Structure 1
């Protein structure tokens, strides 16, 4: 595969798929995402890593041989060792994309990584980006989910889940405090509450402080008892990022030899969607056609898709995306406001 992903001009024409109009504007956004994916897969090929189509991308590959017509993003996953290698060697990717994660930014607080063509972190209108990404003016990215090994021992699985859930709860309690009180607090680090800020903030109700600090103490005690680690928050370090890194470490407590299944661990914490996958699925894979390229996915797609989308996954249903369509709506409004478009 090449960094120069060849896409014929005919691809960009307006097209009706399953009664849904896919505009030229969306086609150029699709192509930009495909190019980011192509660069990522070339890096994986070079370094003997595997990157699998995930969620709607796998469903689209199987059912539509490309994007679901009313969807606008790409999701992939990697087993944890490959995911960690990618993060550690992200500077070896082509210079027109970068990887964002909890390890690259204190502001990032999702446990998947983002491969994006937004190089500066801030939204800017760039003719150079348009020239390289098929005339698409918008910043695009694709989500990369790490899959961790779930211990087969029921006791270990229960222990890990309970500790992870508590750490995850404390993370989002911290985010709530930041969202509500950040503009009222003199922070010692940019845009992040530190333990020192929290202790000294007069505007945060004492009951909120007590609840958070009690949770942190409970978490530290449980970690020391069951994991053999004492967890000490730096008073001047961003609480959010420290909790993010703790959650990520807890997800990696067990390795492949101790597991029969894998999972994206935040979904274990929230219990809101099916999260486990059989480890063996990722040992037997196929390349699926995807628009003008191919993506790697599990061969046993029926069981995987049934788990995630139910037994009628093969029937197209509009309006199933979990984010606003199109993703670039706010970008377009901003570019129009500043007169760039």
Structure 2
């Protein structure tokens, strides 16, 4: 667990830098996923978690990615699929170039990356139930094509249903990379996500997050936000913490089994690499 705590300390220091930038430019943000769960259940990091997930409403997300990231210190760099066509994800990462790590699920195809904070856009969704479902399925279809084209980095430890396991088996047999262009699929997702504004929607989405459709929620869960303790600072999170976390995790106060804990780590520090 030594590596995990070291990564957490670096993440927290970098998050403080981001928070100062958000405050300076009045950018709204929310803790998401395991970061928010850690805040509620542990008053900081989940002990075995080694990343930070935050979300910004689309307009603020675009302002950060297009302009304000330039004010970060030199050792922090921003990366997404628009800045690097070989980048494997849709979301944005702020990378600490002082500290190299191996991303566990990519260790066979990528020599190293850097400790990162994940930044997700929060987007509006159609208010109509049928239109919302259709939008979700279209996005998830393109997301599936991206995953199948990157089959060598699909997280095999993650709990999946029968259909997902079946599709992964197909992806291992068929080379989707030959006829799927991941960049174009991300562009299609980008256009779909931007069709409804955060401000004018009753439902908002972090559908590019780990829990996919579960992360499409009534906006009232987030409205106004609330400050929660996270390690030695306070961070903003969804106002209705219980409803948000129950939707994602069910009984979120229950500590997972050791087997589940072992599958939660994302990174391994490379020997000899520190943030100094």
Both structures adopt the same fold (TM-score exceeding 0.5)? yes
CA contact 1:70–1:318 (8 Å) conserved in 2: no
In our comparison, the structure showing a higher alpha carbon Rg is 1
CA distance in 2, matches of 1:115, 1:157: 30
Partner of 2:65: 87
Which shows bigger deviation, 69-78 or 143-152? Answer: 69-78
CA RMSD of the aligned region, Å? 3.2
Is 1:285 matched up with 2:225?
A: yes
Question: Are residue 78 (structure 1) and residue 56 (structure 2) matched?
Answer: yes
Question: Aligned residue for 1:9?
Answer: none
Please give the residue correspondences for 1:213-228 in structure 2 after superposition, counting only pairs within 5 Å: none
Is the partner of 2:85 in helix, strand or coil? Answer: coil
Write out per-residue CA displacement over residues 71-102 of structure 1, whole angstroms, 9 at most, x where no aligned residue.
22211111111111111012222222111111
Secondary structure in 2 matching 1:117: strand
For each residue in 1:107-137, what CA deviation from the matched residue of structure 2 results, as whole angstroms up to 9, or x when unmatched? 1132221111127xx949xxxxxxxxxxxxx
**Are the equivalent residues in 1 in contact too, given 2:100–2:115 (CA < 8 A)?**
no
For 1:102-251, what aligned pairs fall within 5 Å after superposition? 102-118=81-97, 123=100, 139-176=114-151, 239-251=181-193
2:205 to 257, 263, 278: 263
Whose strand proportion is higher, 1 or 2?
2
More contact order relative to length (CA 8 Å, sep ≥ 6): 2
How far residue 46 of structure 1 moved from its aligned partner, in angstroms, is: 1.0
Structure 1 counterpart of 2:20? 42
| Cα 1:255–1:240 shift into 2, 3 Å | same
Normalization by structure 1: what TM-score? Answer: 0.61
Q: Which residue of 1 aligns with 2:195?
A: 253
Residues 57 and 321 of structure 1: is their aligned pair in 2 closer, same or farther, counting only changes over 3 Å? farther
CA drift of 1:105 comes to 0.7
Cα distance in 1 for partners of 2:199, 2:237 equals: 23
1:102 and 1:245 in contact (8 A); partners too: no
Aligned in 2, Cα 1:263/1:272: closer, same or farther, shift over 3 Å?
closer
Q: What is the total number of aligned residue pairs between the two structures?
A: 240
Does the C-alpha gap of structure 1 residues 305 and 169 become closer, same or farther in structure 2, counting only changes over 3 Å? closer
